[in-house]
């Protein structure tokens, strides 16, 4: 099993370190040939408008939805925005693979970033998780087929739609590998 980590922008190296910690091979994805070698994909945080531009320049923009029809994708922060079906403020093109509506930069600017304990539920087990929110989006609406896996107070911060996952926070910046492990289990099931 090889997991791709989109490496056009953002903290892709921290996601790779999480995968290394779990003894899983990963590959930085920068072009279509790289993506062909993978059975799962992580789209990290970054700046969503810039990511779209770079995805189009690298010819990956058209391929990721096709990849997602077969293989699981985990999107974190900007990755969630790219996977969302609808963006309500400053709309951008997205892949529409997760049936959620999101608001970009919903907590404010970089200076408003924060860390908070969130509650996640994986495989029927509720657990606490350190959520790192950096210019984070908010999930303002979930549609049909979406399972809510995580909350911060009453806000939805982690969702699952089919074999795709998305979070408003950065799990790669936590010491816990629970979310990456859950994603890897989805990849194994899809293979």
What's the CA gap between 191 and 44, in Å, rounded? 22
- Per-residue pLDDT tens, the chain, 191 aa: give them: 999 999 999 889 999 999 999 999 999 999 999 999 999 999 999 999 999 999 999 999 999 999 999 999 999 999 999 999 999 987 789 999 999 999 998 777 777 788 999 999 999 999 999 999 998 999 999 999 999 999 999 999 999 999 999 999 999 999 999 999 999 999 999 98
Which of 15, 160, 164, 172 is flagged as catalytic?
172
Q: Name the residue with tokens 């990963």.
A: 26
Predicted model pTM: 0.96
Output the CA torsion sign for 7, 139, 158, 134: positive
Q: How many CB atoms lie within 10 A of CB 152?
A: 20
Active site residue 86: no
Structure token digits, residue 92: 């951008």
Name which of 8, 71, 3, 9 is nearest 37 in CA terms.
Answer: 3
pLDDT digits (tens, 9 = 90+) for 131-172: 999 989 999 999 999 999 999 999 999 999 999 999 999 999
What's the CA gap between 5 and 11, in Å, rounded? 10
Mention every residue, 6+ apart, whose C-beta is less than 8 A from residue 69. none
Which domains does the chain carry? 2-190 (3.40.50.880)
The answer to whether the CB of 82 falls within 8 A of the CB of 49 is no
The answer to whether the CB of 84 falls within 8 A of the CB of 101 is yes
Name which of 56, 52, 62, 26 is nearest 41 in CA terms.
Answer: 26
Which of 15, 163, 164, 170 is flagged as catalytic?
170
DSSP H/E element including 59: none
Q: How many CB atoms lie within 10 A of CB 13?
A: 13
Active site residue 25: no
Active site residue 172: yes
3-state DSSP assignment of residue 183: helix
Which of 38, 77, 163, 164 is flagged as catalytic?
77
């Amino acid at each position: 099993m090889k997991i791709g980590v989109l490496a056009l922008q953002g903290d892709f190296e921290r996601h790779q370190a999480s995968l290394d910690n779990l003894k899983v091979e990963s590959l930085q994805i920068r072009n279509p040939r790289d993506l062909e070698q993978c059975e799962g994909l992580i789209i990290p945080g970054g700046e969503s408008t810039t990511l779209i531009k770079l995805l189009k320049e690298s010819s990956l923009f058209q391929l990721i939805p096709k990849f997602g029809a077969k293989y699981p994708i985990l999107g974190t922060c900007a990755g969630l925005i790219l996977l969302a079906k609808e963006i309500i403020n400053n709309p951008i093109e997205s892949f529409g693979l997760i049936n959620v509506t999101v608001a970009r930069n919903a907590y404010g600017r970089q200076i408003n970033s924060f860390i908070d304990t969130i509650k996640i539920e994986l495989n029927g087990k509720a657990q606490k998780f350190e959520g790192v929110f950096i210019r984070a989006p908010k999930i303002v609406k979930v549609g049909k087929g979406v399972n809510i896996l995580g909350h911060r107070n009453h806000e939805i911060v982690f969702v699952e739609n089919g074999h795709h996952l998305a979070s408003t926070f950065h799990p790669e910046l936590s010491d816990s590998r629970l979310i990456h492990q859950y994603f890897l289990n989805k990849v194994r099931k899809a293979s």
